[in-house]
């Protein structure tokens, strides 16, 4: 093995040659942009600045605001849909990817034993009237650490 074959592990980048004509790719303004504020040292523009006009974040207040990271989105399922779709007496709706909330729209003719993440009062009343039972299994939320 000769020393000519060995390669350095350090990558060597060639220095950018500025101001060597337009054919070099770094001519005319030499990588410093156009004339005016951006051509001067210290002439930086803050992010979000739109040349003095009212910024879009002030024109459209709906963009600003708070998004609750602990909010749980439920899939709504009506009692009438359960009556039509399921023939079984025991229905477990807790294993789905998104939690399900049982709502009281529709009529119940069969007695069901239903397991859900959440249920409305009217849905529970309708199922109990038909001789069924509702088991509510609350979804776990990520609680932020409490400051002491």
- CATH architecture designation of domain 75-136: Ribosomal Protein L15; Chain: K; domain 2 (3.100)
Starting at the earlier edge strand, list the strands of the sheet with 90-92: 90-92, 113-116, 133-136
Cα distance between residue 39 and residue 33, in whole Å: 6
Pairing label, strands 75-78, 133-136 = unpaired
What is the tens place of the pLDDT at every residue in 88-112? 888 888 877 789 999 999 999 889 8
Q: Is the pTM of this model over 0.85?
A: no
Q: In the chain, where are the structural domains located?
A: 75-136
What's the alpha-carbon Rg for the chain, to the nearest Å? 33
Phi/psi at 136 (nearest 5 deg)? Answer: -95, 120
Please choose, from the candidates 148, 85, 76, 133, the residue with its C-alpha nearest in 3D space to the C-alpha of residue 105. 76
pLDDT band at 122 (very low <50, low <70, confident <90, very high): very high
What Å distances lie between residue 143 and 70, 71, 127, 146, 147, CA to CA?
Answer: 7, 11, 32, 8, 12
Instruction: Say what the pLDDT of residue 2 is.
Output: 82
Instruction: Say what the pLDDT of residue 141 is.
Output: 60
Compute the mean pLDDT over every residue in the chain, rounded to the nearest whole number: 84
Tally of helices (H runs) and strands (E runs) in the chain: 3, 6
């Amino acid at each position: 093995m000769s020393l000519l074959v060995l390669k350095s592990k350090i990558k060597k980048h060639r220095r950018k040659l500025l101001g060597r004509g337009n054919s070099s790719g770094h001519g005319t303004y030499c990588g410093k942009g156009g004339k005016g504020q951006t051509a001067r040292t210290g002439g930086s523009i803050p992010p979000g600045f739109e040349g003095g006009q009212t910024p879009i974040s002030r024109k459209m207040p709906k963009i600003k605001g708070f998004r609750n990271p602990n909010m749980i989105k439920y899939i709504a399922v009506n009692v009438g849909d359960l009556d039509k779709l399921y023939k079984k007496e025991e229905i477990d709706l807790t294993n789905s990817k998104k939690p399900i909330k049982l709502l009281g729209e529709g009529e119940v003719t069969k007695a069901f034993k239903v397991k859900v993440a959440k249920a409305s009062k009217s849905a529970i009343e309708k199922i109990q009237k038909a001789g069924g039972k509702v088991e509510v299994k609350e979804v776990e939320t990520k609680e932020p650490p409490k400051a002491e």
